[in-house]
Amino acid sequence: MKVIVHSSISLDGSLLGFAVDMAAHYKIAAGFKAGIHLVGSTTAAEGLRMLHRKLPREQEKDLVKPKANAKLPLWVIPDTSGKLKGKLHMLRRSRLCRDIVILTTNVTPKGYLRYLTERNYDWHYMGTRPLDYANVLELLAQEYGARRILTDAGSTLNGILLNRGLVDELSLLVHPMVVGDPRAPLLGDVQPGIKLKLSKSRSVAGKLWLLYHVLKPGGRK
């Protein structure tokens, strides 16, 4: 299995504070042909807030699991506190994913589990919080045949995965912008000394795309 962290950053390594070239970002993302996208709950909630000032109401048809479309990725979202309760129908409707899977733990509110069950979303209980992403990858391989997983997340989830030795590739679209804001660094709380090997570099629509292999001497592989 391969895990790829894909992010757009400013020249000074910020995830926020500049206009991401969404077309280039998602074109590169699609090129990885990952069957599963691991999406941060904050990223998903913020994406919805940006797209809909007022969230359209849920309808009867939103409760039905969509017909499987193997061409679309499955979005897997760790959302232990139920941040996305009442909002998932808009992700399901987006037609950007084949459906949504939620990861829960012992702290997940019962009302959220009911909400998920009544709407036919797959959800998986991952034990006590904090979630162990090595177990998550194993589950995704067993249940969904995951072979390639792409992250769509901020510094929190990306940092956790990197620290756990679970990331194989780091894909960065570097935008020609100096944000000068250290509040949203590419990776949060990472261990020092993570070694990378540059495997590709290319100019994409006036930005620089860099692909690194993460070298893991004592890691997963």
Ligand X SMILES: NC(=O)c1ccc[n+]([C@@H]2O[C@H](COP(=O)([O-])OP(=O)(O)OC[C@H]3O[C@@H](n4cnc5c(N)ncnc54)[C@H](OP(=O)(O)O)[C@@H]3O)[C@@H](O)[C@H]2O)c1
Give how far Cα 121 sits from Cα of 87, 102, 136, Å. 12, 7, 17
Nearer to ligand X by C-beta: 38 or 146?
38
- Taking the complex as a whole, the smallest distance from the CB of residue 1 to ligand X amounts, in Å, to 19
Instruction: Work out which of 130, 143, 191, 215 binds ligand X, going by CB under 6 A.
Output: 130
| CB of 128 vs ligand X, minimal distance in Å | 11
Rule CB under 6 A: is residue 40 a binding residue for ligand X?
Answer: yes
Q: In the complex with ligand X, which residue's Cβ is closer, 79 or 168? A: 79
Spatial distance between the Cα atoms of 185 and 13, rounded to a whole number of angstroms: 6
HSE-up of 65 (CA within 13 Å, CB side)?
A: 14
For residues 69 and 106, which CB has a smaller minimum distance to ligand X in the complex? 106
Asked if 41 touches ligand X (CB under 6 A), the answer is yes
H helix count then E strand count, the chain: 6, 9
N residues, the chain:
221
Closest CA to 83 of 58, 64, 109, 105: 109
Of 64 and 107, CB closest to ligand X = 107
What six digits make up the tokens of 73?
A: 């990725």
Contacting ligand X (CB under 6 A), which of 5, 36, 37, 78? Answer: 78
Q: How far is CA 217 from CA 106, 127, 163, in A?
A: 33, 29, 13
Q: Does 131 bind ligand X (CB under 6 A)?
A: yes
**From candidates 32, 99, 150, 155, binder to ligand X by CB under 6 A:** 155
Please identify, using beta-carbon distances, which residue of 70 and 132 lies nearer to ligand X.
132
**Under DSSP, is residue 142 helix (H, G, I), strand (E, B) or coil?**
helix
Q: CA 174 to CA 203: how far, in whole Å?
A: 10
* Candidate residues 152, 169, 207, 212; the one interacting with ligand X per rule CB under 6 A: 152
Binding residues for ligand X, how many (CB under 6 A)?
24
Binding site for ligand X (CB under 6 A): 7-8, 15-16, 20, 40-43, 46, 78-81, 83, 130-131, 152-157, 160
